[in-house]
Amino acid sequence: MEFYEVIKTRRSIRSYKADPVPEESLRRVLEAARIAPSGSNRQLWKFYVVKNPEKRKEVAQACGGQTWIGQAPIVIVATGWKVPFSRGGYMGEMSFIMDVSIAFTQLILAARAEGLGTCWIGDFQNTEVKKALGLPGDENVVAVTPLGYPDKGGFTENTSRKPLEEIVEEV
Ligand SMILES: Cc1cc2nc3c(=O)[nH]c(=O)nc-3n(C[C@H](O)[C@H](O)[C@H](O)COP(=O)(O)O)c2cc1C
């Protein structure tokens, strides 16, 4: 699928078919995250693939009770962790949030190219998601997404964005 078509038609999908995600599609989606750039190439990230229906339900509950998340056949939880290292600038040891977000963006765009829906979830309780999945103490959840084939709605171009003239300025 052409790159600009991918970014134009990626949408937050909140309704999923129960159809399983082919393993080769899942692998390509995860590979897109794996090859993402990160500060000093530190790759301070992990991507947990949650297929177990009970665990998916628990994660959805930990995401502000957004139960529809658990209806997708897969939920992906991305984590990162602090290092006593400042890359300079204001982000400092929290820069893993930036790195994980870059990788997660590549992941959700690759999913779109595979015809798979995602929805970036930021409304989650870090400790509750970690408890549901038994994740290590030093890891922090950065983003969650369901992954599966869209049911209702699907991929349409997003028109609800500010015009370029409003957000770009030559200085
Ligand atoms: C950091 C972040 C957190 C978000 N958290 C949620 C969320 O918890 N629940 C939800 O339904 N959508 C969530 N969204 C999806 C946004 O609402 C959505 O991206 C935005 O409305 C634009 O729509 P589109 O993704 O279809 O283009 C989140 C998106 C981002 C980038």
Q: Quote the ligand 1 centre to 12 CA distance (angstroms).
A: 6
What is residue 2's predicted lDDT score, i.e. its pLDDT? 96
What is residue 87's predicted lDDT score, i.e. its pLDDT? 63
* Atom from ligand 1 closest to the CA of residue 13: 26
Q: What is the mean pLDDT of residues 155-162?
A: 86
pTM, to two decimals: 0.96
What is residue 156's predicted lDDT score, i.e. its pLDDT? 84
Q: What is the pLDDT of residues 7-52, one digit of tens each?
A: 999 999 999 999 999 999 999 999 999 999 998 899 999 999 999 9
What is residue 154's predicted lDDT score, i.e. its pLDDT? 86
**Whole-angstrom Cα distance, residue 81 to residue 92?**
12
Q: Is 158 in the pocket of ligand 1 (CB under 6 A)?
A: yes
Q: Hey, is 128 helix, strand or coil?
A: helix
What domains are there in the chain, each with its CATH number? 3-156 (3.40.109.10)
The count of residues in the chain is: 171
